[in-house]
Amino acid sequence: MKYASFLCLISLMLLAATCKKSDKLATALVNKTWLHSFEEDSGDTVVYRPNTFDFPPSRGRTGFTLESGGVIKRYEIAPADGLEEQTGVWEQLTRDRVQIRMQPGSNPPQAYEVQILSLEGEVLKVRRLSQAQVNGANEN
């Protein structure tokens, strides 16, 4: 019995050592609110920063929160300004791909995939994949 805590500690260390990069990426994304930093977008790359970032003034910012239970809360600009929360589910498909499925009634009410291009420090860069890109990836 006196070795039980030691064995638990060793087990946790081994479990942590076997975590994949995707797990680390998901951990870095989850339970944070990310807001669109549209000033930094480039081409089809969309940039997000945590809501604690000191953004320049704007007329509103969209964003999202990924919760650890697979729930996404997407924040859209409401008709009377402010933010409107919409819910859906998310699933990490591969190391760099996440599928989003929004609830009926959300605007827009759709399923889509995003590719995580990078997460460096407090800057998240993603690209929304077209249906052709998703289908091409599924065929390979």
Q: What is the pLDDT of residues 90-125, one digit of tens each?
A: 999 998 999 999 988 777 668 999 999 999 989 999
Name 48's Cβ contacts closer than 8 Å, sequence gap at least 6: 34, 35, 36, 37, 63, 64, 123, 124, 125, 126
- pLDDT tens sequence across 55-64: 999 888 999 9
Residue type, 56: P
Quote the pTM value. 0.76
Kindly tell me if the per-residue pLDDT of 71 is higher than 80. Answer: yes
Q: What is the CATH number of domain 20-139?
A: 2.40.128
Length, in residues, of the chain:
140
Q: Which two tokens stand for residue 33?
A: 């609110």
pLDDT given at position 138? 58
Kindly tell me if the per-residue pLDDT of 25 is higher than 90. Answer: no
In which element (H, E) is residue 42 found?
A: none
Mean pLDDT for the chain overall: 80
Domain boundaries, the chain: 20-139
